[in-house]
Chains A and B, each alone.
Chain A
Amino acid sequence: MITRFLTNVNLRFNPFSPRSKSARLFLSLIPPGARANGLLIQSKMLPRASKEPATLEIKFKDGKQMHLDLDKMRITEVTEELDRHSRTLARKEELTGN
């Protein structure tokens, strides 16, 4: 997963729901130094009884926001979705010669 272009990650999930697995795996995919490099991560854990779906809100460096419903997605689908935008950003960065 390309995390270079993320600035904000906002997660809400209920750890006791089997559908929130991809939310937890997403957290484990963030590299160890990401927080030190300016990525803001907020994870809110819901109580056990709540039926709220797991959601992910993401902001990219170019200001694009994404809302993903993690309940119905596998972790590979989540990374695909994010990487699609990250790759365009990476290409732009390459072309401007930074």
Chain B
Amino acid sequence: MPPRLRLRPRALLIQRSPSQHSLRHGYASLATATTPAPPIEQTIKSVPPVLRYPPTQPPSHKPPEVRKSQLHRQYQSVLKASPLILIFQHNNIKAVEWMGIRRELTAALEKVDAEREKLGQELFADGIKLQVIQTGIFASALRVVEFFKPGESALDHAQYPTDPTTPTSAKVPNAQNTPDDETFAHGLSRKAHEAASNKKLKLELEPLLSGPLAIVAFPSVSPQHLKTVLSMLSPSPDFPAPRRKVNPGYHEPEIQAGLQKLMLLGARVEGKVFDQEGTRWVGGIEGGIDGLRAQLVHALQSVGGSLANALEGASKSLYFTVEGRRMDMEEKEKGDMKEE
């Protein structure tokens, strides 16, 4: 009968060999493992810093893919980019009416721009749009814009290449890819969220931000455009609506029905809040910023003139006094001469 255990000569060989090895070197810790030396390139140059998120998408506090985050970001950019924003309330305006109002508004603004183009002034008609907003998100975005003032950007913590031979000279922020990182200071960051959710701070515009709202944002404070928009959307004696003969499209029943439901509530001009009258006052500034500059120059010139007169007056009077004294003394001298 053959033996049950088969002899495996190779297995025996492997089992035996380590024991022989350990016998040869006493301790494993003293064994020298031969690792290959790093290539010479690695020892001379440092590893380039790595950006751990797409440069245009730093990690945000709320999930960035949802609609409200994107609207929040969009409203922040609108609020930061436009110094003049008109706020309207819209009461159940139909889609057809919106369409008509927007069409007439762009037509009127293009007319203004055509006039300005002749004078070589800046054109803004493309940037002025009537936009329906989500009120709550707009209010939150306004809080971030007003109350969150980031002192430093994420790039201030950037890694600088320590060696001129590093492969990149680009500044790469040394930040992790989580919203917990303190270095983020963009509008959707956690820091911005915390600054804006401070209940003690109150917005001046807070009472207006409820109900259905629409805004008209201007890329610059241009009273000429403001005048046109006011006369189209909320006509008043100061800003009369265009006549039927001039602009028959404006007097279509659909557009008029829509305009009845659109109310001007107020405006935000360079961070300050104006009511209806204040808005009309801004619209009534003649000639815009250039007109104001001209007024200022005129005022300063007249002040300068009077100042020069005043200064001249003093020197003149001094001259007269001295001259009078001289005459006086000369007469005296003459008198002395006669006496002699």
Contact = CB atoms under 8 A, between A and B. Distances in A.
A15 B265 contact: yes
Contacts, number: 54
A27 B93 CA distance: 12
Contacts of A17: 207
A45 B265 CA distance: 8
B210 interface: yes
Contacts of B93: 32
Contacts of A47: 275-277
Contacts of A95: none
Interface stretch (B256-264, B282-290, B331-339): B256-264
A30 interface: yes
Most buried by A among B260, B275, B277: B275
A32 B92 CA distance: 5
A15 B275 contact: yes
Interface string A48-85: 10000000000000000000000000000000000000
Interface string A17-31: 110110011011011
A28 B275 contact: no
Contact of A21 (B91, B210, B261, B265): B210
Contacts of B263: 27, 43, 45
Contact of A16 (B92, B264, B275): B275
A43 B156 CA distance: 53
Contacts of A28: 89, 91-92, 211-212
Contacts of B260: 35, 41
Nearest to A41: B260
Contact of B211 (A21, A35, A43, A48): A21
Nearest to B278: A48
B124 to A, nearest CB: 27
On chain B, which size bracket covers the interface? 20 to 34
Instruction: Give chain B's interface secondary structure class.
Output: mixed
Among A17, A31, A45, the most chain B Cβ lie within 10 Å of the Cβ of: A45
Interface in B116-144: none
Contact of B208 (A16, A25, A31, A35): A16
Interface string B85-102: 000010111100000000
B170 to A, nearest CB: 49
Contact residues on A (Cβ < 8 Å of other chain), bracket: 20 to 34
Given A30-B91, A32-B92, A35-B257, A24 B277 contact: no
B208 A15 contact: yes
Interface string B204-221: 001110111000000000
B210 A30 contact: no
A35 B93 CA distance: 12
B236 to A, nearest CB: 11
A80 to B, nearest CB: 19
B266 interface: yes
A25 B212 CA distance: 9
A48 B205 CA distance: 12
Contact of A24 (B206, B211, B275): B211
Contacts of A45: 263-265, 276
Contacts of B261: 32, 35
Contacts of A20: 207
A84 B266 CA distance: 34
A36 B275 CA distance: 29
A15 B257 CA distance: 22
Given A17-B207, A32-B261, A36-B257, A27 B277 contact: no
10 contacts: A15-B207, A16-B266, A17-B207, A18-B206, A32-B261, A35-B260, A36-B257, A45-B264, A45-B276, A48-B266
Given A21-B207, A45-B276, 6 more contacts: A15-B207, A24-B210, A36-B257, A45-B265, A47-B275, A48-B275
Report, nearest first, the 4 A-B pairs whose CB atoms are least far apart.
Answer: A48-B275, A32-B92, A18-B207, A15-B265
